[in-house]
Amino acid sequence: MTSPDETTAVEAEQTEEPKKLSLEVKVESPSSCQRHVTVTVANEDVERYFDKAFDDMAPTAAVPGFRPGHAPRKLVEKRFRKEVANQVKGSLLMDSMAQASDEQNFSAISEPDFKFDAVELPEDGGPLTFEFDIEVRPEFDLPKWKGLEVKKLVKTFEKADIDKHLAKVLDRFSEIAPVDGPAEMDDYLTVNIVSKLDGKEIARAEDLSVRLRDTLSFQDANWEEFGKTVVGAKAGDKKTGKATVSEEAENEELKGKELELEIEVLEVKRLELPEMDGEFLKKIGGFESEGDLRDFVKGDMERQFEYHQQQQLRAAITEQLTKDANWDLPPALLRRQARRELERAVLDLRSYGFDEDTIRGYENTLRQNSLRSTEKALKEHFILERIAEEESIEDAPADYEREIMQIAAQSNQSPRSVRARLEKQGLMDTLRNQIIERKVIELITSEAKLNETPADAEAAASVAPVEFAITGVPAENAIPEAQEEGKEEA
């Protein structure tokens, strides 16, 4: 039976903090976000880790001629030193990198980059030396964030606004039927598209379905006068246009070049809007009257305007916060973070109920300016993260539940399936950043001087997005569409 004193000794041993390593750390800063770290671990620590490994092994070590656990310690060490070397090396590297990062006050934004196999344990009683690169949050003085003066957009929705949005809602419940006449704006076209440079074909897409709108958005360019060029076309007609390739397109040789576009219309289809009778109103959402449906549509518009309002507020706030953030962000870091920024933006759009067409259009726009927009987003994130740390702003389980419930409500999915999808796609960390940043923006807004300004009533150009790159190199890291498992009719 274990005595009280023995129990206390065991508990003390279990709770005792690990002994710190004796480290010599040299840090170089190639750029604001990069650190090259050289770490030297004293030989005493190397041997201490070997001793610990042999302590764990000794009770069960099997050596010929001895019962398991009864071989002399020196014999066990000699026989198994190579066997435990990788384990010791792994523990030493992990612990020393963590300690070095803590002692240097690194705010790491990626995993350390180093080659495990290139590190060798000393065999002559010398120290262990290794190097690694790590990406960190830049060091900066926190800008003044209390008392900012910012503009806040406000808007009252009139009948004409509701009529226009109602038509978009009814699109989901409309039938699409072929027409023999000329194409009108908002018709659906089945087309072949070819891009050329100096008459030579670069890329082709066949049987592509596109909506006839002002602008056709590709993954790497925009056809700005698409609607003006194609309206009035019939099946069999061909139309031509031009588009300038984004400077951030995947195809290096075609960046910034103007390509010729040729579109062949194969079929014209048009929406046939349903009759809004009682049966239809009940079917799409249990509405008792057209007035109930219009109230629902108005609420949807207000929710989406809230998104634009928050984005405008965020942009106004972060523009002031980042005006002196002249940090050198490595292009490699920006390319890796581009997908993360895209994921964050898409999550935000989905939580406010935007349709997949709108989200795809935003994706294309973000891809065409990925490095520039990612650099801006990263600078904003670094500053907002610092404010969150200083103000002790943290995420809580209720925050995730609220976000997931909102996405589920807007996409007609169950919260359970939304959470499962986010976890499967590795987006929970992205959701966390979104939660923290939103809380910080809310704090800054509460401390700001807000000047209410009517939102500009001028209509933006309508955009039809397609998943096609006119350079022939498809965009990487596409965000998958929301799965609609068990989707209700509403």
pLDDT at 50: 84
Instruction: Report the distance separating Cα 151 and Cα 425, nearest Å.
Output: 36
pLDDT, tens digit, for every residue of 297-339? 999 899 889 989 999 999 999 999 999 998 888 888 888 888 8
Instruction: Report the distance separating Cα 350 and Cα 124, nearest Å.
Output: 60
Neighbour tally for 388: CB within 10 Å: 18
- pLDDT tops 60 at residue 92: yes
Return the DSSP state at 23. Answer: E
The pTM for the full model equals: 0.72
Q: Measured in whole angstroms, how far is the alpha carbon of residue 106 from the centre of its chain?
A: 23
- Domains of the chain, residue spans: 20-135, 149-168+276-457, 175-272
- What ranges in 246-394 are assigned the alpha helix state H? 278-285, 290-321, 331-351, 356-368, 370-390
Contact between residue 159 and residue 309 where contact means Cβ atoms under 8 Å apart: no
Query: Which has more pLDDT, 182 or 83?
Result: 182
Buried-exposed string 204-220: b where 16+ CB fall within 10 A, e elsewhere: ebeebebbbbbbbbbbb
Instruction: Report the distance separating Cα 386 and Cα 406, nearest Å.
Output: 27
- pLDDT tops 70 at residue 207: yes
Neighbour tally for 324: CB within 10 Å: 10
- In the predicted model, what is the mean pLDDT of residues 249-257? 90
Say which CATH topology domain 20-135 has: Alpha-Beta Plaits (3.30.70)
3-state SS assignment for residue 254: helix
What mean pLDDT value characterizes the chain? 86
> What phi, psi does 86 have (nearest 5°)?
-65, -40
384: amino acid identity, one letter = L
pLDDT band at 345 (very low <50, low <70, confident <90, very high): confident
Instruction: Name which of 353, 367, 364, 365 is nearest 304 in CA terms.
Output: 353
What are 149's two structure tokens? Answer: 């003066």
Contact between residue 444 and residue 387 where contact means Cβ atoms under 8 Å apart: yes
- In the predicted model, what is the mean pLDDT of residues 225-245? 96
Percent of the chain beyond pLDDT 70?
91
CATH, domain 149-168+276-457, list 3.40.1350, 3.30.420, 1.10.3120, 1.10.3470: 1.10.3120
CATH, domain 175-272, list 1.10.4080.10, 3.40.630.30, 3.10.50.40, 2.60.120.560: 3.10.50.40
pLDDT at 187: 94
Same-fold call for 149-168+276-457 versus 175-272:
no
What are 469's two structure tokens? Answer: 């790159």
- pLDDT tops 70 at residue 17: no
Q: What is the DSSP string of 399-418?
A: HHHHHHHHHHHHHT--HHHH
